[in-house]
Structure 1
Amino acid sequence: MNLYQAVKVSGSEESLGRGFMIVLNDRIASGIWTTKQNVDAMNTFRAFEQGYLGTIMNDEIEYYYPPTRPNGFHYFNISNVTEASQIPEVIILYSYQGLNPNLVKVAIKQLGAKGIVLAGSGAGSWSNSGEIKNKEMYESIIFQLFTRRTMAGSVPKDDVPDYGIASEFINPQKARILLQLSL
């Protein structure tokens, strides 16, 4: 049924202008806001606070609102990228108690990272020693995108140091891809 519904949604004129979508279990969700939440559950994909775009009821597509583009999202033309090596290295570092802040240095100097996604606790917060390394990283012209470890929530601009970029509602994995495309 999922495959049938996905084909039906992708072929519908009502689906134009909505970006990439995930169609599963009678739900239509934006690929930007959808996250896999459980490795064992059949209904694992969820669109948390941002919600779903629509549903399929009695074999009819029902969208909740007209097409719109999410705020702050740009379209990237990657048709000229032929090899993964053409995409800049961006590392995700997850904060935890006792994290060695020198991992930042390793990511830059040994792994050649051009950007780092910092998945912090709460609204993207880091320890004081981590903040010092992050500031050093900024001075090395390494782009830093602050995000959260939790499944949902926001990292607002006001909670991020001046040298960082707030991911707002984007999870670390999607933030990494966006930073790679932006660089």
Structure 2
Amino acid sequence: MTDTDLSKPPRILVLGTGGTIAGAGAGARGTGAAYRPGGLSLDVLVGHLAALGLEADLHPQEIARIGSQDIGFAEWQALHAACSAANADPAIDAVIITHGTDTAEETGLLLDLTLPTTKPVILVGAMRPADAVGADGMRNFANAVKVAGDPQAAGRGVMLVMGDAVLAARDARKAATSAIDAFRSFPRGPLARVTPATLDWFGPAHRVGEAARYAFPAALPRTAILTAGAGMDALPVEALLGIGVKGIVLAGMGQGNAPRVVLEALSACAAAGVPVVRAARVDEGLVDRNVEVDDDALGLVAARALGPARARMLLMVLIANGITDPRQVQAAFDAG
């Protein structure tokens, strides 16, 4: 927002995709475990938020009402188009996307890679459905509004607001299946702490005025994650080639390792023009080049700080943008 806008409530486009934040069906007492993601419409969610009396002008636009395990290219394309339109609209100050938590890290990274940093774009979700005891969705939503309306929120890339923390989409990952504080940030910590009443940034905006890093793809190539396990052979690699994958991410042991026969098969893929990125199946840590695996000799790429899910998303965007040479792919992963 410009200085002249500070006296007015921020005008925020709210894009809904469903997820647990819009979930319903926890039972009459709100204690049931089962629920339906996206059971509540975005208008109902925004209405609940408006009842809190927040100083914000919210404009809902429903993209989907699904669990985020079912999100795909059609929804990503619609989200990107809506965010791009909001960036070009001087009447819109920020965008909030309500989203399921299972794939929030993939959607967040895709948008972070393909949108400029002109206006804040914030994903928000919940770990408990809206009608459950101790539901966290409205607090997270109110926190997202607090972030979206802050003049210092621009220039930080796409963000995720969960559990009173503001995380950069590049760093955020879901690290627990059901804990209320399920998201972690690596290698950098949270950008800020937030409540509906307070917001404390931990540093200045670091991406002010950045253009989109990559063009949003016309389509995403078939790219697979292969999880390494003790005693496995090369047949899964051959099977992936048989279905026409254009890229492979290895969710490897330790620092992205795998049995020798698997690495040799993956090296053959790389030699045939199918980029291969080594990530780790462990929860956190860097995957460096040439530590236990000779990446230079095998033609492989080290994922660095990205886990398998986000590594796959970055690899898909790179391939769609015509970037397949291992050295160029490595440079993109190193960029952090």
1:151 aligns with 2:289: no
Measure the CA separation in 2 of the matches of 1:175 and 1:13.
31
1:157 aligns to what SS in structure 2? Answer: coil
Task: Give 1:80-95 correspondences, 5 Å limit.
Answer: 81=218, 86-95=219-228
1:174 aligns to what SS in structure 2? Answer: helix
Measure the CA separation in 2 of the matches of 1:175 and 1:55.
27
Match of 1:121 in 2: 253
Task: Give 1:31-50 correspondences, 5 Å limit.
Answer: 31-50=169-188
Q: Are the structure 2 counterparts of residues 58 and 89 from structure 1 closer, same or farther at C-alpha, using a change threshold of 3 Å?
A: closer
Say how many residue pairs are matched: 173
1:104 aligns with 2:237: yes
1:4 aligns with 2:142: yes
List runs of 5+ in structure 2 lacking aligned partners.
Answer: 1-138, 320-336
State the shift of 1:36 in Å: 1.0
Larger mean CA deviation between 2-11 and 112-121 belongs to 2-11
Contact 2:186/2:305 (<8 A) preserved = no
1:174 aligns with 2:301: no
| Aligned pair partner of 1:56 in 164, 186, 194 | 194
Measure the CA separation in 1 of the matches of 2:290 and 2:261.
20
Of structures 1 and 2, the one with the larger relative CO (CA 8 A, separation 6+) is 1
List per-residue Cα deviations over 1:143-173 (Å, max 9, x = no partner).
0011100110011123351201111000000
Match of 2:158 in 1: 20
TM-score normalised per structure 1: 0.88
| Counterpart residue identity of residue 166, structure 1 | A
Contact 2:287/2:304 (<8 A) preserved = yes
RMSD: 1.7
State the shift of 1:58 in Å: 7.4
List per-residue Cα deviations over 1:93-129 (Å, max 9, x = no partner).
01001222121111012x2101000111111111111
Identity %: 27
2:265 aligns to what SS in structure 1? Answer: helix
Measure the CA separation in 2 of the matches of 1:146 and 1:137.
13
Measure the CA separation in 2 of the matches of 1:38 and 1:4.
23
Measure the CA separation in 1 of the matches of 2:279 and 2:186.
16
